[in-house]
């Protein structure tokens, strides 16, 4: 099942550089994954390379449409705490 990149992608080129199957290409608004080429990095790496390098939390989904790097995964801040912090800042 192929991975997919959603509209939160900032087109930083990080995933493009590390995809072993060259399945990532430039779309109209953001990078896309060619489902016919994507191998989920099986046989090459333990983890999908696009998801492991992506700096945008939640921008890459697996074949089940689940986020591969959910909010808090890059910062180490649990999502509930992050939301409380955002709410506190907005209340100021």
* CATH number of the domain enclosing 39: 3.30.70.20
Domain extent at residue 28: 4-91
Closest CA to 40 of 52, 53, 49, 32: 49
Q: Which two tokens stand for residue 28?
A: 């109209």
What pLDDT digit, counting tens, does each position of 5-14 carry? 999 999 999 9
Closest CA to 60 of 5, 2, 21, 1: 5
What pLDDT digit, counting tens, does each position of 61-73 carry? 999 999 988 777 7
Total domain count, the chain: 1
State the residue for tokens 């099942």. Answer: 1
pLDDT of res. 4:
95
In three-state form (DSSP H/G/I as H, E/B as E, the rest C), the secondary structure along the chain is CCCEECCCCCCCCHHHHHCCCCCEEECCCCEEECCCCCCCCCCCCCCCHHHHHCCCCCCEECCCCCECCCCCCCCCCCHHHHHHHHHHHHHC
pLDDT of res. 76:
72
Average pLDDT over every residue of 37-45: 91
């Amino acid at each position: 099942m192929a991975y997919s990149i959603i509209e939160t992608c900032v087109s930083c080129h990080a995933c493009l550089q590390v995809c072993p199957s060259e399945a990532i290409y430039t779309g109209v608004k953001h990078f896309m994954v060619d489902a016919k080429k994507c191998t989920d990095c099986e046989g090459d790496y333990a983890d999908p390379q696009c998801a492991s390098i992506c700096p945008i939390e939640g921008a890459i989904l697996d074949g089940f449409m689940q986020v591969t790097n959910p909010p808090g995964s890059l910062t180490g801040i649990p999502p509930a705490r992050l939301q409380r912090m955002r709410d506190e800042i907005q209340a100021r």
